[in-house]
Structure 1
Amino acid sequence: MDLLDPLLLARWQFGLTTLYHFLFVPLTLGMALTVSIFQTAWFRTAKLKWLHLTRFFGKLFLINFAMGVVTGIVQEFQFGMNWSSYSRFVGDVFGAPLAFEGLMAFFFEATFIGLWIFGWDKLPKGLHLASIWIATIGAWFSAYFIIAANAFMQNPVGFRIAEEGGRAEMADFGAVLTNPVALAALPHTLFAAFMMTAGVIISVSAWQLLRGRNLEMMRSSLKYGLWGMLVAFAGVVISGDQLSLVMVATQPMKMAAAEAMFDSACGADASFSLFSIGTPDGTGEIWSLRVPYLLALLSTHSFEGCVEGINDLNAEYATTVFPQFADQVDGNFAPILWVTYWSFRWMIGLGGLAALVAVVGLWLTRRNAKRAVPAWAWKLAIWAWPASLFALLVGWVFTEMGRQPWIVFSLMLTQDGVSPTVPGWNVLLSLVTFTLIYAILAVVEVGLIIKTSKKGPEPLPDPDAPPPAEPALEDTPTTVY
C-alpha cells in the first residue's frame, strides 16, 4: 500500500471531514424544531418554564449551528483540490441544487436566525416566534437540496452527457429534485436528525435530574425527549423501509453487500443475516446465522420475493451492464463487505438501543410509578445521545461506502474522480492540517456544550419570594449637566 497514494489520502480526508461536519447537521435540523416547539408552548401558555427551556436549548442550537457552518466550508475546498475531475464531471448538475442550498442556508435561514437572536424584547412575540419557525423550515429545505445533490450520486437522473468534454449536464431540474432516492432519503434523514436531538435532550435532562436541578423544567424536557425519541424511531423504521425498497431498485449491489448475500435467492433462502463469516476473497460464505424470509420481505415486501446476490450482480455488471468499467475494478463491483455489513447492523442496533432507553425511561417516570427513579436509570439515560449519534454516523458510512466503487453510480468510478495533478504529499498536508484544526474545534464545541448543559436553564422564580423592592430615591442614579 502506497501511503502517499492521492486517491487513498483524498478518500480519508473526505470521509473524516464529512463525518465531522455531519455531527452538526442533524442536531441543527432537530434542535431548530425543538426550540420552535418550546417557544410555541411559551407563546400559547405563558408558562415561564417554556421560555427558559427555549433559551437554554436555543444556546445549544446556536453553538451547533455556528460550528456546522464553519466545518461545512471545508467541503468546497476538498472538491476543488482533491476531486477536480469529479467536480468537473458533475458541476453542471450540482450547481443548481447547491446554489439553492446556499440561498436557503446562508441567506434565508441565517437571516431569520439572526432576527431570532437579536429580536428578543424588540420584535412582537408572534413575529419573533415566526422567525424561528421560518429558520427551521429553511434548514429543512437546505437539507433537501443537499440530499437531492447526493441522490444524483446514488441514482443519476435528469442529465445528459455533453458531446464535448464528457461532462454531465443538467437536462431536467425537476427530475433531479424528485429523484426517488431523494424523496425517500429526506424523511429518513429528518427523523434520524430528530432522534439524535431527542437523545441530546434526554441526556441533558437526565444529567440535571440526577443532580436534583431545575426539576420542573427538566421533567418537562425529559418527557418531550423520551416521546420524541420513540416517535422519531418509528419514523426512521417506516421511512427506512421505503428507502430500502428504492435502494433495491436503484442499487441492488448495496443491499446484497449489506446482507452478505453472495448468491441470488428467493423466499426462505432470501434470509436476513444476523451474523456472517465470509471467505477471505469475499466471494462466498463460511457460516452465518440467518432469519428465513426476512430479507425477501424487507427487499420486496413479499415472503416469496427474490434478492440478487453479489456474485450474480458482478457477472451481470461485468458482461452486460458496465463492461467498460470491468477491467478497472477487476470485475468486482461490490463495496468493502465488512464495512457495509457491520455498519448496517450497528445502525440498526444503536438506534434500537436509543429507543429502548426511551421505553425504559417512560416506564420509570410514569405517573403511577410507586418508586423513585434509581440513580442507575439516570446514568443509563445519559447514553441516549451517544447511541443515537453513532447510529446516525454509521448509517451515513453505510450510505456512502455502499455506493463504492462508484463516486457517481454507473457513470464515474471513485478512482476516476480524484484530481490527476495533485501529489500525495499535498493531500497528506491538508489531511493533517484539517485533522488538527477539527480536533481543536471538537474540544471547543464539546467544551461549550458540556459547560452549557451543566449550567442548565435559568431557574424559575420562586412564587413565594417577595417582589423586588423599588430602589430608594437616594440610590437612583442621577445625571449631572
Structure 2
Amino acid sequence: MDILLLSRLQFAMTTFVHFIFVPLTLGLSLLVAYMESKYVRTGEEIYKRMTKFWGKLFLINFALGVVTGIALEFQFGTNWARYSAYVGDIFGSLLAIEATLAFFLESTFLGIWIFGWQRLSPKMHNASIWLVALAASLSAFWIIMANGWMQNPVGYLLADGRAELASFGALVTNGFAWHQFIHVLAASYVLSGMFVMGISAYHLARGNNVDFFNRSFRIAAPFTLVFALVLVIHGHSHGANVAKHQPAKLAAMESHWETMPRAPQYLVVVPDPAREGNRLELLPIPAGLSLLAYHSPNAVVQGLKDFAPEDRPPVWLTFFSFRTMVGFGMALLLLSAWAWKNRHDPRRSATMLKLLPWMIPVPYLAIQFGWLVAEVGRQPWIVYGVMRTADAVSPGISVSQVVGSLAGFVAIYAMLVALHIFLLGKYSRLGPEAPPRAKA
C-alpha cells in the first residue's frame, strides 16, 4: 500500500464517521425547535417533555459530532499539504467562514438553550434553539460550498502555480454546490424523521408513554414523507446536473460504455470494467438514460470509452453505491408513506411498529453510499479537471506515519461510534422524564 491510498483511506474513514453525526444534528435540531414552539404556543407540558427528551438525544449526537470533526481539517496540513498550498486561498476561506460564523453561532446559542431554561422567557429560549437549527444549516452550507467547488470549480484563476479566488460571488452561487446542499438537507431531514419515528414505534409497540410517542410520531411522519418526496424528485435534477458537469461520473454510475444517442437504461447490469463493457444487461428502458440525464430521448450520452482509462472513476464502486443509494431512497419513500398513512394511530399497524426501529440505520447507509458516489465518482480528480488526487498528497511523509495515524484514528473513532450507539440506545429506551405531579 502506498501513501496516497493510505491517506485516502484515512480521510474517507474519518469523514464517513463524522457524517454519521451531521445529518441527525441538522434534522433533529429543527424538529426539537418545532416541538418547543408547540409548547410555547399551547402551554401544554407534554411538548416541553418532548423538547427535553428529543433535545437530550440531539445533544449526545452533537457533542460526539464535534469531537469527530476536529481531526478532519488537520489532515489538510498533515496528509494533503500540496492540495492546501494549491487551493488554500479558495478552500480555506470557506472553512474559515464556517468555523468563525456558523459553528460559533451554533455552539453559542446551544449553550444558551442548555442553560437558559430557568433564565430566559419561553419565547427567547425557543428562539435560541431555532438559531441553533439555522446555524447548523449554515455550517453545512459552507462545508458543502467547499466540496461543491471541488466537484465543479468556479470563480478562480491560476496564478503563480496555484488556484486563487477571483469571484466569491461565483463561489457561493455555484449551481452544483447548491444541488448538493439541497440533497444533503433533504436526506438529513428524512434520517431525522426516521429516527424519531423508529424510537416512537419502539415505545408504542410496548405501550410506553402512548400519548407522548403518538404525538412525536404525528410530528415526524409528515415531515419525513415531505422530504422523502423532495429527495427523490430532487435526486433526478441532481443527476442531470452531474451529467452536465461530470459526464464520466454519470457513465460510471450507470456503467455506460458506448457514446450514443437514445441511450437505454438497463434495470439489471453487471459491469465488467476489465473488458470495457457489461457482463449482463437486462430489462432495458429505451432512451431511458438520455431522457433522465438530458431530458431528451434523442440526447447523446457519453460512454466511459470516451475517457482515457486513467481518467475514469472506479466503475464497480461508483455503480454499486449509486444503485444501493437509489434502492434505499425508494424504500424510505414507501416506508414514510406507510407511516404517514398510520400517523393518527400508529398502533393499528403492529407490523409497522416492529419494522420501523430496525429501519433507523437505512437512511444512514443511504447517505454514506451517496457520498461514495460523490467522492469516488469524482476520481481521479481531487478538484475536478484541475488537480489530480495523486498530486495533492503531502511530500515527505512515510508509509509508517500514515499507517500509525490511520490505526489510531480507527481505534478512537470505533470507540466514539460505540459510545454514540450506547448512549443513544440507553436514553432512547429510557424514554422521557415523568410528567410533573399536579399540585394538591
TM-score, normalised to structure 1, is: 0.88
User: What's the counterpart of residue 115 of structure 1?
Assistant: 112
Aligned AA (1:307): V
CA drift at 1:295: 1.6
Aligned match of 2:129: 132
Cα offset, 1:140, TM superposition: 0.8
Distance (whole Å) between structure 1 residues aligned to residue 287 and residue 40 of structure 2: 51
**2:52 equivalent to 1:55:** yes
CA 1:383–1:293: 2 relative to 1, 3 Å: farther
Contact 1:192 1:236 in 2 (8 A): yes
Q: Separation in 2 of the partners of 1:90 and 1:234?
A: 37
Which of 403, 412, 425 does residue 378 from structure 2 map onto?
403
Are 2:294 and 1:300 equivalent residues in the alignment?
yes
SS of equivalent to 2:148: helix
Which amino acid in structure 2 is aligned with residue 406 of structure 1?
W
For residues 124-161 of structure 1, what are the alpha-carbon distances to aligned partners after superposition, in whole Å with 9 as ceiling and x for unaligned?
Answer: 11111111111111111111111110011101111111
* Paired residues of 2:225 and 2:340 also in contact (CA < 8 A): no
Q: CA offsets, 1:331-389, max 9 Å, x none?
A: 4311111111111111111122122222233344556x9x9332x33121112311111
The residue number in structure 1 matching 2:81 is: 84
Partner SS for 1:360: helix
| 1:272–1:295 CA contact under 8 A, matched in 2 | yes
Q: CA deviation at 1:296?
A: 1.6
Partner residue, 1:19: 16
Q: Structure 2 matches for 1:269-284, cutoff 5 A?
A: 270-281=263-274, 283-284=276-277
Runs of 4+ residues over 3 Å off in structure 1: 362-367, 459-462
Identical counterparts, % of pairs? 41
**Match status 1:230 vs 2:193:** no
Secondary structure, counterpart of 1:332 in structure 2: helix
Aligned mates of 1:182, 1:303 — CA distance in 2:
27
1:34-82 C-alpha deviation (Å, 9 max, x unpaired):
1111111111111122111111111111111111111111112211111
SS of match in other structure, 1:285:
strand
Count of residues paired in the alignment: 439
Q: Residue 353 of structure 1 corresponds to which residue in structure 2?
A: 331
Q: Select which of 170, 193, 200 maps to 1:198.
A: 193
What does residue 418 of structure 1 align with? 393
Query: Which residue in 2 is equivalent to 1:311?
Result: 305
Does structure 2 conserve the Cα–Cα contact (< 8 Å) formed by 1:204 and 1:453?
yes
Q: CA deviation at 1:282?
A: 5.0
Q: Distance in 2 between matches of 1:232 and 1:365?
A: 16
Structure 1 partner of 2:63: 66
Superposition map of 1:360-399 within 5 A: 360-364=338-342, 372-374=348-350, 376-399=351-374
Residue 282 of structure 1 contacts residue 337 of structure 1 at CA under 8 Å; is this kept in 2?
no
Q: 1:287 aligns with which of 277, 280, 291?
A: 280
Q: Using the alignment, how far apart are the partners of 1:282 and 1:102 within structure 2?
A: 47
Alpha-carbon distance change, 252 to 460 in structure 1, aligned in 2, over 3 angstroms: same
SS for the counterpart of 1:445 is: helix
Matches of 2:272 and 2:429, distance apart in 1: 49
Give ranges in structure 2 of 5+ residues lacking alignment: none
CA positional deviation for 1:280: 4.7
Say whether the 8 Å CA contact 1:14–1:78 is kept in structure 2. yes
Residue pair 2:232, 2:329 contacting (<8 A) in 1 also:
no
AA at the equivalent of 1:201: V
Q: What is the TM-score of this pair, normalised by structure 2?
A: 0.96
- Residue correspondence of structure 1 range 159-238 to structure 2 within 5 A: 159-163=156-160, 166-238=161-233
Deviation at 1:173, TM superposition (A): 0.8
How many angstroms does 1:25 deviate by? 0.8
State the secondary structure of the residue aligned to 2:360: helix
Q: CA 1:311–1:131 in structure 2 vs 1: closer, same or farther (change >3 Å)?
A: same
User: Partner of 1:120: helix, strand, or coil?
Assistant: coil
Q: Give 1:443 shift.
A: 1.5
Which of these residues, 252, 255, 263, is aligned with residue 247 of structure 2? 252
Q: SS of the counterpart of 2:4? A: helix
The worse-fitting range, judged by mean Cα deviation, of 134-143 and 99-108 is 99-108
Distance apart, 1:264 and its partner CA: 1.5
Contact 1:254 1:335 (8 Å CA) reproduced: yes
Give CA-to-partner distance per residue, 1:246-284, whole Å, 9 cap, x none. 2111111111110011011222xx222322123351511
Structure with more helix by fraction: 2
Counterpart Cα distance in 2 of 1:115 and 1:353: 39
- Which letter maps to 1:449? L
